[in-house]
Amino acid sequence: MEKRSIINLVKIFMKYKQQFIIRVFFLFLLSIFIVKIYPINHLESDRIAEFIHIGSAQPTYSNNHVSYPFTLVDGYNRNVTFKEEPQRIISIAPSVTEVIYAVGADDKLVAVDLSSNYPNETENLPKIANFPTLDVEAIIVLNPDLIFGAGITSLEDVEALENQGFSVFILAPFNVEDVLEDIEVVGRITNHESEASTLKDSLQARINTIEQNVTKYTFKPKIYIEYFSEPLYTYGKGTYGHDLIELAGAINMAENATGLYPQIDDEFVITQNPDIIFYAKGSWTTTNASTISSRTGWNIINAVKNGHIYPINEDWISRGGPRIVKALEEIHSKVKLVTSQSDRDRSITPAFEWYWVLVMIPISVVIGIKRRS
Amino acid sequence: MVLKVENLSFRYENVGVLNDVTFQAKQGGITGIIGPNGSGKTTLLRCIANVLKPNQGAVFIDGKDTRIFKNKELAKVLSVVPQLTSLTTGFTVFETVLLGRYPHLGVFQRESKKDYQVVNSTLERVGISHLAKRDVDELSGGEKQLVTIALALAQEPQILCLDEPTLHLDINMQYMIMDLCKEISRDKRIVVIVVLHDLTLAAQYCDDLIILKNGKVLAMGPPDEVIVEEYILNTYGVKVIIGQDELTGLKYILPSLGSKVKTIQ
Amino acid sequence: MSSITPNSNDTQNQVDVYEFYRKKKLFWGLILTVSVLVLVISAFIALMFGSAGPIGPASSRLLTISDVIQQIIRNSSQFILKMVGYPVHEETSIQKIIIWDIRFPRIIMGALAGMALAVAGTIMQALFRNPMADPYILGLASGASVGASIAIIAGGTIGFLAGYILPVFAFGGSLLTIIIVYYISNIRGMVRIDTLLLSGIAVGSFMAAITSFLTYISGQHLRPIIFWLMGGLALVEGDWESVMIAAMIIVPSCVICLIFARSLNLLLLGEETAQYRGLDVQKVQKILLVLASLITGVSVAFTGVIGFVGLIIPHLIRLVTGPDHRILLPTSSLIGASFLIMADVVAKTVIYPTELPVGIITALCGTPFFLYLLRKQKKIGF
């Protein structure tokens, strides 16, 4: 390959014509395969990995009456044995705090973490710092007999607590279904099984109602949930936000985006043309419906044209607690509204992705020649 | 062209460095400034160049106070070769010396043919034409010193000040640079002021000498009157032997063997 | 000592020198022409990429290449007409919105930020005579991060300033930093450049510590703060106003910096030597520091912290043009602009539809190339 003249290339080509063409074709297919398939594969493996790491808590056996002792597998796949009903409980995750209150076990709760802000009764409890490192000393002082953590609790913190002889149980629900199951688990552990199953059933019933409604809709609207505005971030696959959209019978505009919280640009939103826009309402949020609709070029988006811009409580969609069903109902109510209206205009047609062909042909040819010589 | 320094005093903070220095340097000759380390030689040069503002007194060029000069105007008249610094610009020698044309160029003015000619003749004058296209960073210490002198000369000054131009250089370069100073002062009829630490060089090359001690002028005049054992002992605290070469008649200064170095008050 | 004896080929040498500089001027013209072309072409390519096509990994093809060209010509001519006060009928098609309102501001902001960072980097490297100097060396980035973090944590409670809370706070943060740095190094009216460097690093670390502290205690604001810190050009999509503000500060500042190109050349000689050449070193240093900090602060305010452009581009261009700032500054600014535009295209498309922070791309593309050149040249700097 010292003299890389055109004549040389032609000579090489004539000599190995058949092999060359086969190789180029093969490499071409391979490169397209890699480029197009890899990100999806990558995403899938991420998802699987997350299942393994923070899989949902599964009861190993079930009884009508809670009879101690029993052993459960928690969200980090650890076996935790409960000898008797826990009397002093600490929650170090806001989602679990909400579950404990919901099943009525809050009379046993002695402390919660700093970000637990719901329900309002949490204000009266001692607060424990849990970010970025857990205040183990404060926990020792309170001497709990059970500590509930969540997927945000690091393994180091769990180990640190176990080293102090504390019993730790992690709830790490991956989707809405897991959240409901975890409510039952908490009920069982805290001897509030009947309340928990009543709560679960009512939540399940609300979800079922939505699921039944969803089948009747003529189309699936596209939804964009804005997590942050400068720059734009949204909820990707693997977040509750994405699950809720799907459960509500809609399509997440960013379903193909890589990452849990993918960054996107204005043009993507405009091109995707979502039918409903939600903006997560957290304490940092400065946006509202009018600032969103006044963004340049957004006036041609269906959601903006038809005024479907709504706030949604960030805590509802980011915490694996009972209020997630509220978020689902909120999203579904807007989906219902949109699907019942007929003022729709979707005009975006997919086209052949000739761009990749243009990129791949020269690369394949170059690789083919290089391998040949 | 005459450079006059009148009653010049300068203090850093509260420490007096120069105290009532008065002298005069004429064109066509070399005025040498000698004195031990810390006697204020470099400070004096900086005051002359208007880089440091004296607390008292003033410097006059042909009767004009230097304080009324703008930076560029002064640089057209007076140029200083600072002590050998690590000259690394990434430029070639020619380009580096061309930077010396700065005071003669307006903000948006490009170098004209005249500027190139000045640089060329300066390089020739200093004897480094053959280095013109070499990178400054690659040169030896002596060659860099010559480039710095060329840089100062490219300003076409009428007063040239050199601060220890022979420092850290081999003996051939020392004499070569002093010869150059002599030639420049004679050919171009400019005022040359040299700060020197080598007394032999000072005795051999300077037309006038000034001895500084603790910021004061101890003595000045022709080398024969200034380079005497008494003054040297007084300023440097060293007993010396002043000899004369029989062939050339040039003076040389040697520390006298066995003499003890006195501490200076 | 053969090297100091007068050369017999002096006349020969002189002719050579003239020829050399005639060629050099031609070379400068060529470099500038190529740089302008590179910038125009990168801007044009960047206009083609996006969710709506015509080029890119997106599946929708709302636009064709002819749409893009048509929109460029129509809107830029309308823009000029509007500037001279001629009434223009403005249509609002999706093509116009995507090309002119979404992509154009982003590309122009990319060009402005790239230009600002490259110019500021070149100036800082010359002022500090330090090849490691970059636009953020005086702690501007850390200062901006503090401002932005405060804005995010205070968030909804700040009612005024509307959409400009983040850029205003970020710019305020960097302004405050440079004032502190300058105040510390100003000893009796003299600002020494080495003191400046040290206090810049110290104040920068201090500001970085405050940012760390703020993110540490921010709890649920953590993610938004990190989002902003990662920066990127998506912030200015559809925001002609920000682009205009940035342009009005960055372009004139860069032009003023060009006026000081010869002074920067002199500063390469060292402060003292430059001073004896008639340069008011203190004044020039002050003006250039203010200008470089200003354009860096503006770019950080609108695009977040984008690393490596201000460090690598000046070095790369210096390898081609040599150290003369009269060619180095304009070329750096043009190539810096092109580089950031192209890096942004990659950031937009590489894992579409997710955007990567452009700083990741500039570092990923820039660093290996830079290291390769470093090893090959064995000499970077002055």
Q: Is A32 on the interface with C (CB under 8 A)?
A: no
- Supply the mean pLDDT for chain C: 84
d(CA C356, CA C234): 10
Q: Quote the DSSP letter at residue A108.
A: G
pLDDT for B29? 87
Contact flag C278-B94 (C-beta cutoff 8 Å): no
Q: Do chains C and A touch (3 or more CB pairs under 8 A)?
A: yes
Q: How does DSSP assign A50-67, residue by residue?
A: HHHHTPPPB-SS--SS--
CA A278 from centroid of its chain's CA atoms: 16
Query: Residue A271's closest chain C neighbor by CA?
Result: C52
- The fold for domain C9-377 equals ABC transporter involved in vitamin B12 uptake, BtuC (1.10.3470)
CB C122 within 8 A of CB C325: yes
Answer left, alpha or beta for residue C304, where phi above 0 means left and psi between -120 and 50 means alpha: left
Helices and strands (H, E) in chain B, number of each type: 9, 12
**Residue, of C362 and C187, whose pLDDT is higher:** C362
C34 vs B155, C42, C323, CA distance in Å? 35, 12, 18
d(CA A117, CA A313): 13
Phi, psi of B196 (to 5 degrees): -130, 150
Give the structural domain span for A160: 70-203
pLDDT for A43? 38
pLDDT at B245 exceeding the cut of 50 = yes
Claim to verify: residue A223 and residue A317 sit in the same structural domain: yes
C290-317 average pLDDT score: 90
pLDDT in tens, B159-200: 999 999 988 888 998 999 999 999 989 888 899 999 998 899
CB A72 within 8 A of CB A297: no
Q: How confident is the model at residue B262 (pLDDT cuts 50, 70, 90)?
A: low
A73-86 average pLDDT score: 86
C352-378 average pLDDT score: 80
- The structure tokens listed for B10 are 């300068």
Q: What percent of chain C has pLDDT over 70?
A: 90
Contact flag A263-C238 (C-beta cutoff 8 Å): no
Whether the upstream peptide bond of residue A119 has omega within 30° of 0, thus cis, is: yes
CB C269 within 8 A of CB B96: yes
Best mutation target among C107, C220, C221, C222 (most A Cβ atoms within 10 Å) is C220
pLDDT for B265? 44
* Cα torsion angle, A110, A116, A121, A127, sign: positive
Q: How confident is the model at residue A49 (pLDDT cuts 50, 70, 90)?
A: very low
Contact flag A286-C59 (C-beta cutoff 8 Å): no
pLDDT in tens, C220-254: 677 778 888 887 888 888 788 889 999 999 999 99
pLDDT for A64? 45
d(CA C365, CA C363): 6
**What residue type is A274 in one-letter code?**
P
d(CA B63, CA C33): 52
Q: Quote the DSSP letter at residue C103.
A: I
Instruction: Name the A residues in 217-246 with CB < 8 Å from any C CB.
Output: 227-228, 230-233, 236
User: If you count them, how many residues does chain A have?
Assistant: 373
User: Does any domain span residue A182?
Assistant: yes
Element containing residue C27 per DSSP (H, E): helix C10-48
User: Does any domain span residue A347?
Assistant: no
CB A80 within 8 A of CB A74: yes
d(CA C269, CA B95): 11
d(CA A187, CA A191): 6
pLDDT in tens, A357-368: 666 677 777 766
pLDDT in tens, C259-281: 999 999 999 988 888 999 999 99
Residue B217: half-sphere exposure toward Cβ, Cα within 13 Å: 19
- Out of C102, C228, C232, whose CB is closest to A297? C102
Q: How does DSSP assign B53-80, residue by residue?
A: --SEEEEEETTEEGGGS-HHHHHHHEEE
pLDDT for A5? 65
Gap from A306 CA to chain C (nearest CA, Å):
17
pLDDT at A295 exceeding the cut of 50 = yes
pLDDT for C29? 93
pLDDT in tens, A303-314: 999 899 999 998
pLDDT at C379 exceeding the cut of 60 = no
Chain C residues lying within 8 Å of A268, measured CB to CB: 51, 58, 353
pLDDT in tens, B61-72: 998 998 899 988
Helix-, strand-, coil-residue percentages of chain B, each rounded to 5: 35, 30, 35
pLDDT for C14? 57
User: Does any domain span residue A59?
Assistant: no
Contact flag B103-C280 (C-beta cutoff 8 Å): no
What CATH number is attached to the domain comprising A287?
A: 3.40.50.1980
Q: Is B112 on the interface with C (CB under 8 A)?
A: no
pLDDT in tens, A176-188: 888 888 898 998 8
Q: What percent of chain A has pLDDT over 70?
A: 76
Contact flag C221-A284 (C-beta cutoff 8 Å): yes
Claim to verify: residue A330 and residue A260 sit in the same structural domain: yes
Contact flag C279-B105 (C-beta cutoff 8 Å): no
Using the CB atoms, write b or e for B223-244: b if 16+ within 10 Å: beebbeeebbbbbbebbbebee
Neighbouring residues of B104: CB distance < 8 A, sequence distance ≥ 6:
B76, B115, B155, B156
Phi, psi of C380 (to 5 degrees): -130, 140
pLDDT for C42? 95
pLDDT at A346 exceeding the cut of 60 = no
The structural domains of chain C, with segments of one domain joined by +, span 9-377
pLDDT at C77 exceeding the cut of 80 = yes
CB C112 within 8 A of CB C243: yes
pLDDT at C361 exceeding the cut of 50 = yes
Residue B194: half-sphere exposure toward Cβ, Cα within 13 Å: 33
Helices and strands (H, E) in chain A, number of each type: 14, 12
Q: How confident is the model at residue C161 (pLDDT cuts 50, 70, 90)?
A: low
Claim to verify: residue A190 and residue A103 sit in the same structural domain: yes
Q: Is C56 on the interface with A (CB under 8 A)?
A: yes
d(CA C148, CA A260): 23
A251-266 average pLDDT score: 89
Closest alpha carbon to B141 in B178, B123, B175, B167: B167
- State the Rg of chain B over Cα: 19
* Cα torsion angle, B63, B64, B67, B69, sign: negative
Contact flag A271-C234 (C-beta cutoff 8 Å): no
CB C296 within 8 A of CB C174: yes
Answer left, alpha or beta for residue B190, where phi above 0 means left and psi between -120 and 50 means alpha: beta
Neighbouring residues of A167: CB distance < 8 A, sequence distance ≥ 6:
A80, A81, A82, A86, A145, A146, A147
Instruction: Name the C residues in 232-261 with CB < 8 Å from any A CB.
Output: 232, 234-235, 237-240
Burial bucket for residue C269 (CB in 10 Å: 0-12, 13-18, 19+): buried
Contact flag C323-B89 (C-beta cutoff 8 Å): yes
User: Does any domain span residue A158?
Assistant: yes
Least confident of A119-123, A261-265, B184-188, C219-223: C219-223
Least confident of A15-24, B38-47, C128-137: A15-24
pLDDT for B106? 86
Instruction: Name the B residues in 144-163 with CB < 8 Å from any C CB.
Output: 146, 148, 151-152, 155
C323 vs A277, C3, C338, CA distance in Å? 53, 26, 21
- Supply the mean pLDDT for chain A: 79
Per DSSP, which regions of chain A are E strands? Answer: 70-73, 79-82, 89-91, 109-113, 127-128, 146-150, 168-171, 222-229, 232-234, 251-252, 276-281, 309-313
CB count within 10 Å of CB C275 equals: 23
pLDDT in tens, B218-229: 999 998 888 888
Q: How confident is the model at residue A57 (pLDDT cuts 50, 70, 90)?
A: very low
Query: Residue B103's closest chain C neighbor by CA?
Result: C278
Q: How does DSSP assign C128-163, residue by residue?
A: HT-TT--TTTTSHHHHHHHHHHHHHHHGGG--TTGG
Instruction: Name the C residues in 75-94 with CB < 8 Å from any A CB.
Output: 92, 94
Closest alpha carbon to B12 in A147, C187, A360: C187
Phi, psi of B81 (to 5 degrees): -100, 105
- Out of B91, B108, B143, whose CB is closest to C323? B91
pLDDT in tens, B75-132: 999 999 998 777 888 888 998 999 999 999 988 888 888 888 899 999 998 989 888 8
Q: What percent of chain A has pLDDT over 90?
A: 18
User: If you count them, how many residues does chain C have?
Assistant: 382
pLDDT for A352? 43
Contact flag C278-B72 (C-beta cutoff 8 Å): yes
Contact flag B155-C323 (C-beta cutoff 8 Å): no
CB B184 within 8 A of CB B192: yes
Q: Which chains touch A (3 or more CB pairs under 8 A)?
A: C
How many structural domains are present in chain A?
3
Best mutation target among B53, B94, B111, B129 (most C Cβ atoms within 10 Å) is B129
Contact flag B176-C4 (C-beta cutoff 8 Å): yes
Least confident of A57-61, A69-73, C160-164: A57-61
pLDDT for A372? 56
Q: Is C52 on the interface with A (CB under 8 A)?
A: yes
B12-39 average pLDDT score: 88
Burial bucket for residue B85 (CB in 10 Å: 0-12, 13-18, 19+): middle
β-bridge partners, B253: B242
- The fold for domain B2-226 equals Rossmann fold (3.40.50)
Q: How many CB pairs under 8 A join B and C?
A: 113
* Cα torsion angle, C336, C337, C340, C343, sign: negative
The structural domains of chain B, with segments of one domain joined by +, span 2-226
Claim to verify: residue A28 and residue A49 sit in the same structural domain: yes
Q: How does DSSP assign A24-37, residue by residue?
A: HHHHHHHHHHHHHH
Chain C residues lying within 8 Å of B88, measured CB to CB: 381-382
pLDDT for A61? 39
Contact flag A355-C356 (C-beta cutoff 8 Å): no
Q: How confident is the model at residue A37 (pLDDT cuts 50, 70, 90)?
A: very low
Contact flag A228-C223 (C-beta cutoff 8 Å): yes
Contact flag C279-B71 (C-beta cutoff 8 Å): yes
